């Protein structure tokens, strides 16, 4: 596996292909670093002091598959562990922290996977520049850094012993990975116009192809979410 700079680790629940996407192009199960597509743990819904409603918290805990018997414990853990084990909104700082949370809350769930996120060296500075908060205005509290930004600034390589799953074009806004190319149904456009296929995980198999997709998206010739589109490497760890 080539060298990619770590942007942290996620606990992701693999999901069925969304109904709006193409069944002839995508596999039945997909993996995405975007929680529009695949539920993540933890997240703002698991932290006590966020503004999420009781209904929203329950919905998100159910989506990720956490037993209701563990909701209270998970909320206490997430509140205490924020900016210790993970950063905003649910990015683990280390592989060891991600493994510990998986063993504690999802030990019997095979669908929960530990995914390392990485960026090629050539894109790190662009992400840091785009994601670094502006200095606060007088009288206003400073805006915090996302976990992705915090980890990338350490400039550490992703651990090499994982299984490379492929690359996902992702749009970032204010340091958050807000949308995947699949959110915009772009797998059809790239398959039909550029003959670009996905692999068995619903990802792009090679870096150069994913890089080309991001360049095409940013040319505004197709409709996609505004923001910084980059090819992110997804690596699975057991």
Tens of pLDDT along 28-39?
999 999 999 999
Q: Report pTM.
A: 0.94
Beta bridge partners of 237: 114
Q: Which of 46-60, 128-142, 161-175, 188-202 has the lowest mean pLDDT?
A: 128-142
Spatial separation of the C-alpha atoms in residues 148 and 126, rounded to whole Å: 13
- Where b means 16+ CB within 10 Å and e means fewer, 181-200 reads bbbbebbebbbeeeebebee
Residue among 143, 152, 99, 145 nearest 125 (CA): 152
Integer angstrom CA distances of residue 176 from 88, 89, 230 = 9, 8, 12
- Strand 228-237, strand 112-119: pairing: antiparallel
Percent of the residues in the chain that have a pLDDT greater than 70, as a whole number: 97
3-state DSSP assignment of residue 165:
strand
Calculate mean pLDDT across residues 106-112. Answer: 89
Chain-centre distance of CA 5, in angstroms?
A: 15
Calculate mean pLDDT across residues 84-107. Answer: 97
pLDDT of residue 72: 97
């Amino acid at each position: 596996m080539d060298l990619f700079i770590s942007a942290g680790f996620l606990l992701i629940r693999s999901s069925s292909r969304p109904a709006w996407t193409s069944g002839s192009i995508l596999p039945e199960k997909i993996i995405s670093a975007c929680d529009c597509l695949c539920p993540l743990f933890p997240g703002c819904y698991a932290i006590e002091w966020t503004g999420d409603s009781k209904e929203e918290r329950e919905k998100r805990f159910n989506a990720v598959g956490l037993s209701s018997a563990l909701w209270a414990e998970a909320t206490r853990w997430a509140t205490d562990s924020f900016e210790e084990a993970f950063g905003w909104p649910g990015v683990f700082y280390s592989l060891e922290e991600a493994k510990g949370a998986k063993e504690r809350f999802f030990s019997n769930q095979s669908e929960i996977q530990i995914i390392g996120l990485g960026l090629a060296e050539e894109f790190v500075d662009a992400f840091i520049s785009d994601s670094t908060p502006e200095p606060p205005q007088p009288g206003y509290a400073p805006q915090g850094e996302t976990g992705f930004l915090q980890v990338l600034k350490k400039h550490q390589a992703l651990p090499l012993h994982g299984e490379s799953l492929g690359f996902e074009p992702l749009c970032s806004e204010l340091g958050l990975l807000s949308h995947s190319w699949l959110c915009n149904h772009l797998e059809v456009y790239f398959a039909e116009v550029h003959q670009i296929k996905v692999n068995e995980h619903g990802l792009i198999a090679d870096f150069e192809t994913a890089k080309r997709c991001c360049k095409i998206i940013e040319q505004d010739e197709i409709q996609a979410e505004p923001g910084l589109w980059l090819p992110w490497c997804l690596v699975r760890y057991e």
